[in-house]
Amino acid sequence: MQRFFSLPFYLKLATVLINILAIGYFMHIGQTIIVPLILGTLFALLLVPACNWLERKLRFHRTLAALVALLLFFGLIIGVFTLIGSQMTMLKDDWPAFETQIWTGINSIQAWIHETFNIGYSKQSEYLSQTLSKSLSHGTAIVGIALISLSSLFILLVFTFLYTFFILIYRRHILRFMLLLNKREHQSIILDIASEVQYVVKKYLIGLILQMLIVAVMTFIALSIIGVKYGLMLSIITGVINVLPYVGIFVALLIISLITFATSSLTKVLFVVVALIVVHFIDSNFVVPKIVGSKVKINSLFAMLAIIMGELIWGISGMFLAIPILAILKIVFDRIYDLKPWGFLLGEEDSSDHSYKILRDELYPEVVEIKEVKNKKDGI
């Protein structure tokens, strides 16, 4: 009997793993080019309907339509961050209160450490002074890293803008190139993939924007009831950061808790924690499944793996891009015969096994034919 796991099988498996590692390494070292290119592609897919409307209804030239749609879109993004920045400038008025509250909290912590672990105030102050001196000694490096991060963000925004603009201009040319790469009998599949990818990406990004608005509104209502200062700014920050799956809400919780602690009492911090947990529960169980999850049929296991891998390769940008890239891969896998099992693996589980049986009959029609012949012989 021939062994199922033969030597060629292990060679193929090793080749696949090596190719995955090579692609991951290439994507990591080329993130300056690849990340804005993917972002530009996603934004272009989102803005295609607007460009088509400007070209058909207002008779704009394709270049002018792309430029107008892009300026309006990026203007909206810049407006949101400008609003956050204007709100953050108000924090300087309360900085003395922040400092007083922080030192009060530090003194309380020191008292608790002294009573619990019997460590004197002098030793605690000495350790704190050493830590601060080390931090100051590394201050130049921290400033340098911050400047590099700002320059990288600026480069990302510029490249994303340019990629989006040129993809919008040459979108039909790129589609025709993809058709030329494939045989005539496969061109209908390419058109179907392009149409489905545009639909899913558009609906997914619109769903994310709606999710941001809903989370921001719920957070603003909760913070207003509790009486937290800078509720508008913190609500907008929460809505924007919440775009990062599984991580954003906890980062927002940390930021809001620190600002609430610096401007108010510990009781309000506890109320804030409870309120954001409720907001996260509503978002995860009602908003995401209905608005975002309904557009992207990816199971949670591979969504989480994609987010982790995206963070390892591209950082925060990778966490944002992981889900749409995985959704695009699933669309491609579902429409290519040899890759359909992988598309099935990425999708949600069907409790009735209906989709599994359909795919099995499609991939292995000879099994169905054998069963039909057997049934005829048995007189069924």
So what's the pLDDT on residue 375?
Answer: 53
Q: Which residue is it, tokens 């609003």?
A: 83
Mean pLDDT value of segment 236-265: 82
Residue 154 half-sphere exposure toward CB, CA atoms < 13 A: 6
Q: Rounded CA gap, 337 and 9, in Å?
A: 20
The tokens for 350 are: 């069907």
Amino acid identity of 281?
Answer: F
Q: Which residues contact 196 (CB under 8 A, 6 or more apart)?
A: 331, 335
Report yes or no: 234 and 249 within 8 Å, Cβ to Cβ: no
So what's the pLDDT on residue 379?
Answer: 52
pLDDT at residue 118 above 60? yes
pLDDT at residue 68 above 90? yes
What is the rounded average pLDDT for all residues in the chain? 79
Q: Rounded CA gap, 261 and 230, in Å?
A: 13
Alpha-helical (H) ranges within the chain are 7-29, 31-57, 62-88, 95-117, 121-137, 139-169, 171-180, 187-226, 231-241, 248-263, 266-282, 300-314, 316-335, 340-346, 354-363, 365-377
Query: What sign results for the dihedral spanned by CA atoms 143, 145, 146, 148?
Result: positive
| Confidence band, pLDDT 50/70/90 cuts, at residue 17 | confident
- Chain centroid to CA 155: 20
pLDDT at residue 377 above 60? no
Overall size of the chain counted in residues: 380
Mean pLDDT value of segment 5-10: 61
* Per-residue pLDDT reduced to its tens digit, 169-198: 999 999 999 888 888 888 888 888 888 888
Q: Rounded CA gap, 108 and 123, in Å?
A: 16
pLDDT at residue 144 above 50? no
So what's the pLDDT on residue 233?
Answer: 85
| Confidence band, pLDDT 50/70/90 cuts, at residue 145 | very low
Largest CA distance in the chain: 94
Closest CA to 322 of 337, 338, 335, 308: 308
* Per-residue pLDDT reduced to its tens digit, 276-313: 999 988 888 887 777 765 566 778 788 888 888 888 88
So what's the pLDDT on residue 263?
Answer: 75
Q: Could you give the C-alpha distances from 150 to 63, 232, 263, 311, in angstroms and in order?
A: 30, 25, 29, 19
Asked whether the whole model's pTM tops 0.85, one would answer no
The tokens for 50 are: 């607007």
Angle at 288 between CA 287 and CA 294, to 5 degrees: 115
Question: Between the ranges 97-106, 127-136, 215-224, where is the mean pLDDT highest?
Answer: 215-224
Report yes or no: 259 and 94 within 8 Å, Cβ to Cβ: no
